[in-house]
Structure formats: C-alpha cells, structure tokens
Structure 1
C-alpha cells in the first residue's frame, strides 16, 4: 500500500551537482582542530555534498564518549563558513533540535535508536513544527518497517516536506561480516510504500569496517539509492568513536572515484524494447508460478482434511527433511542458489502449516460446538 506523504524532491533541498551525492565527515566532533581540518580536506576533494559530524552520541553503555555536546555546534559552523559545505547533525531531543537550528545547521537526522521510540520521534516532530529544514530518518535498530514508516509520518505530519530515509542496516543475532545486516528488502519495501522518498545509504554503519564500505556503497547505488553517508576522519587510527569504519578524506575521494553510476532507465529505444520483452516473459512465468502454487495449496487442503479425519499430526519432520534435501538438490542442479531455494521452501511450508492448522482449528471448533449442543 502506497502512503500519501507530502515530500519535496531531493534536488530542491540539497545540491545534486556532485554525483553521487555524498554526506561525509567524522563520526564524532572531537576537537575544533580535528573537525575543521577534516572539513577542509573533504571540501578540497570536491566530492562532498554536505558535512556531517556527531555532536551528541547515544552510546550503548555509560562511561563511553557521548559526544562533545553543544560546543561542537560552533566548530561545525566555523567549518561551514570556511568551506562552504552545508552541515548535518543527529538530533535526539527537542533541545537538540532547538540548539542545532539556532547554530545554523542545515540538515538534521534522526538516529536509529530514536526511530525505534515513537515518544522520542514525536518529541522531535513537535520541536520541528513551523520549521523549514530537511530531516533524514534512519531505519530503527531492529528490522521493523512500521517503526521506520511511522517515524517518517510523524516528521511529515509536523510539516517537514524535505524528508529522506537513511538505510543503515539492522541488528541481527546472526554473526556475519557486517556490523549491521543490510536487509536490502526492508529498504525496497520502504521505497514501495513511499516511492517519492529519497533514501540515502549509510555503508559505514552497515559495515563497521572500512574495507567493506566500497562493496556496500556500490550495491546501494545499484539499488537506485539517492546518495551515501560515509564517515571520514583526518586520522581514523586515533578516532574517539568507530575508528574502524572511518576513512581518511583522501580514501573517501578515491572510493567515490571508483564507484560506477548507473541510471534507473535508458534512453536507448532498442535496449528499452528488449527489457520490456524480457519483463513480459517474467510476467508470464510469474503467472504460471502463482497458478502452480494455488494448485499446490489445494492439495495441501486435501492433506489437511485427511490428517484431521485420521488423527494425524500436522507436522511430520521426516517428510519435511525429505522435501528439503530433494528440492534443494534439484535447485542446485538447475543452477539456483540453494539458500534461496531453502527460503522459498520454508515460506511455502509455513503457509502449508498455517492452512492445515486452520483446518484442524475449524474441526476442533465444530466438535466443541456439537458437544455444547448435546448438553443444552
């Protein structure tokens, strides 16, 4: 379902002459010299659209560096005056909003921890009423699309039309190479609900490791995201926060030069016609797939009724193991990714269990109703 949000195009509120659009700067403003020197080096590359810096840092545990605080806003303003770069800051309270705006900050963003708390988002939204400022909303820490959408709606309802989402990945119990799992499907789902919403990718927080940033940055652009937010420090080895995921300004410029920009559409009519034909073929195959899935589910219903009538449990583990082994082997022989095949099978199996449970539940409800009648 598409949402009707009032959103201005990204090009109306942030310079888009640099491609790709990159918001860069240190994870944290540590000292005035560190911030201003980093800003000058970033501006000198000619690759940066806006300067970011963490002023207030929500840390997981007390005792860690929680940001330099309001004094950092003066440093940020100095960097802006000297380099001409617009500035961006994270805000987590109404007071943060007020102080950032008073200091002339150009762009605000709501962090992942804040997005997860509707009370916090509403407090920020209330502080933004009557203000014309761009606001970017990071995805919540956990993969909850409704929380992300809800935060965007609250900010939009406050009258903010210069709005964007930031995809920074999601926490996961599963260990992987990434600090936060990209879960690209969540960003795609957001774009499906709000097609006009610009989405900026934050590869620094997804990766947690500077070596992985080029891969994620390129994939984000290939997924038609409108820009990148990448952390950059004059000397990452001595950074007070997130040292491993920050790049030097020179390394960031080199990364940007190596990125390949692609267009969502082509003006080449021959290519466009070929793509249309291939998409038409996919549509036909999708129709067949859904017809076959429907046929499969009708058989599942018959199986459910047999099990109900003969007192057989819904789940037979041996049968499920047999399906997994045979079908994944077949998928591999067809050059399909086995992980994809497993996920597809699990999805269909889950729906099969749901339908059979529904059949069993109806039978149980009918039996209870009949028993109640005999006692009337």
Structure 2
C-alpha cells in the first residue's frame, strides 16, 4: 500500500497548493445558494466544492438531504465557478448517481468507514473509475478499521486515496463534538507514510469559534489540508448549523494559517535539533532501563504476595503512588493527566506481570 498518488499530483487540486482545501455546505439545500456560494469559495482560493446529498441522521424525521436532485445542482455549481466537486457516498446506488452526474470525487463518512460490508460495496462500485476517494476515520478511535477501509479501496485499483481526520465519538464531557485524539491520525501516517491526510475541523469541534484553532493544530502537525463546512448563512443551515462558517470567515482563516515544512534548509537549526534529539534518545534509553528494573521489582513483589496470600491489587498503595506522581508532576510543571495516563499504563503492566507470573 505504498503506491498512493501524491496529492499535489491530483487533477482535483490542479492549480492549488498546501493547504489543499475542500469546502462547501454540510448539505446541498438549493441550486441558487449553492452556485452563489461556489463563486464565493472560488474567490477565497478554494478549488474543490463539497456538498452533502444524503445525510445519515441519528434519528428519523430530520432533514436527510435532497438526494439525487442535488447531484445536478452540485455539478452545475462546480461548472459555473470552474471548480471540482465532491460529495459523500454510503452505498453503490449513491456511487451510480455520482458517476452519472459527473461529480469529481467522493468521501466516505465516519459511519460508513466502520462498516466493512458497505466499504467493500462502494469500493467495488468505484473499481476502474480512478475517482479520488476521501476516507474519513470511523466513529471509534480504531486505526485498524480506518486502515482496513483504505486497503479495500486500494485493492480495487484506486490510488487517489486520502484520509480525512474528523475526530472520534466520545461519551462524556468534552470541549469538542468529536475529540481529535491526534495520536490516531499520527499512527495512521506512521503506517501509511505516503497517504495524503486532511483534517475536518468542522466535525471535530462542532463549534464554528473553534474551527480555526483545530485547523491550525492540524497544519502544525503536518496535515496536507482541510475539509471545512461553509454556509452563506450558517445559523439557518438545515444541518450542522453550529459548526459551519461563512465564506468570508474561511477566506480570513486561510489568510492567517501558516504552512510548515517537514524539514529545514537552515544548517544551524538542523544541527541543534539533532543534538537535542540525541539527548532525547539517551533519556529514552534510561527510561527503558528504569522501567525494566521497576517491572523486575514488581515481579518480586508479586512472588511475595503469592506466598503470603495477598491480592495483586492493593488499592491504597496504588492511590498513594498515583497521588505522589501527580504531586511531583505539578511541582515540575507537567500535565497531571499526562502523568496519570503514564502511571496507569505502568500499573496495568505491573499487575499483568504479577497475574501472569511463571
């Protein structure tokens, strides 16, 4: 899976550069407003117009898109503003309609990515078309599902494939609608280094006032571009009103965002980074040695517990260890939740060592 077409070579983005931007309304609502918005987006430098035709909602009875009628509107809007077009597909019938209407690219939504049956059906329907495919992450933070969906399209002969990070479902309180869990797209890029990667800050945030900050973070991390929901009058949008921004807001945001390179031609800066990374490598080696010592000690404690008839879990001791670690983290100006996560992982490994002692 190393033969992905590099995004700068896609005809879809001909004439543009990083960040590569796909923008448009969450849902296509009517022909006139879509054409007007296309011209506004083109003026902002956007080359690809997005618009949802079918909107899978959690509950029935909500606005679920204009369907096939909107495909013609999307094509007309793209042609009028000289833009490429993209829409979401969730089954083979959608693919048939998209191809019949000359839509230039498709994306796979989060709900669909998590269903291998539907992904395979769509991949087979697209076989031989060469159409660009944008694969959003599944709702659950599982890199295997995401990678598997991408593999299915690649095995059907499609090589213009791009991953889209749109955040993950989270049960509980969060600042974001779908927290980004950046480690998941980072892992995807580690596995598939040649795969283009966009960020969808609209779905991550669920709030238009946070879109720019997430877009900025994505570009700092090295994402290739953005997929953003834009509406001429967001508060009146028929779907996802709270997370859409205006074309003017998009233009201003794109003007403020800065692109970073993956390397530098500054020899002094490169040398300084190399020296500091050598220090990090030394510290990492010491951490591994210390963790190995800790696990050996934990195993010895487990043997004593077994001989003495003691339980592996000692809740009071664990609470003391965690409280002490958090206190030391605070003194060192380290994030307490970060340290809690690390020590929780260490504690879990220690218990497993004691439980599985041979």
Q: TM-score when scaled to structure 2?
A: 0.98
Tell me, in whole angstroms, the C-alpha distance in 2 between the residues paired with 1:309 and 1:258.
65
> How far did 1:327 drift?
1.3
- Render the CA deviation track for 1:25-68: whole Å, top value 9, x for unaligned: 000000111211111111122x2131100011111111111110
Corresponding residue of 2:291: 293
Corresponding residue of 2:125: 127
Corresponding residue of 1:369: none
Please provide the CA RMSD for this pair. 1.0
Tell me, in whole angstroms, the C-alpha distance in 1 between the residues paired with 2:125 and 2:240.
29
Match of 1:185 among 172, 183, 186: 183
Q: Is residue 301–residue 356 contact of structure 1 (8 Å, CA) maintained in 2? A: yes
Q: Is residue 201–residue 211 contact of structure 2 (8 Å, CA) maintained in 1? A: yes
Q: Is residue 167–residue 203 contact of structure 2 (8 Å, CA) maintained in 1? A: yes
Match of 2:162 among 150, 164, 168: 164
DSSP-derived class of the 2:130 partner: coil
Match of 1:12 among 6, 9, 13: 9
Match status 1:329 vs 2:332: no
> How far did 1:16 drift?
6.0
Corresponding residue of 2:259: 261
- Render the CA deviation track for 1:148-197: whole Å, top value 9, x for unaligned: 01100001111000011000000011211100010000010101110111
> How far did 1:19 drift?
3.6
> How far did 1:17 drift?
2.5
Q: Is residue 5–residue 156 contact of structure 1 (8 Å, CA) maintained in 2? A: no
Tell me, in whole angstroms, the C-alpha distance in 2 between the residues paired with 1:206 and 1:15.
27
Q: TM-score when scaled to structure 1?
A: 0.93
- Render the CA deviation track for 1:246-292: whole Å, top value 9, x for unaligned: 11101110111111221111111111111111111111110110011
DSSP-derived class of the 2:356 partner: helix
> How far did 1:81 drift?
1.0
Tell me, in whole angstroms, the C-alpha distance in 2 between the residues paired with 1:154 and 1:19.
27
Tell me, in whole angstroms, the C-alpha distance in 2 between the residues paired with 1:18 and 1:93.
31
DSSP-derived class of the 1:142 partner: coil
**Residues 51-66 of structure 1 mapped to structure 2, 5 A cutoff:** 51-66=49-64
DSSP-derived class of the 1:335 partner: coil
Q: Is residue 18–residue 224 contact of structure 2 (8 Å, CA) maintained in 1? A: no
Q: Is residue 167–residue 200 contact of structure 1 (8 Å, CA) maintained in 2? A: yes
Q: Is residue 3–residue 194 contact of structure 2 (8 Å, CA) maintained in 1? A: no
Tell me, in whole angstroms, the C-alpha distance in 2 between the residues paired with 1:44 and 1:131.
30
Match of 1:147 among 132, 145, 153: 145
DSSP-derived class of the 1:283 partner: helix
Gaps of 5+ in 2: none
Corresponding residue of 1:43: 42
- Render the CA deviation track for 1:100-153: whole Å, top value 9, x for unaligned: 112111111110000010001010011011111110100001111111011000
Which structure is larger by alpha-carbon Rg, 1 or 2? 1
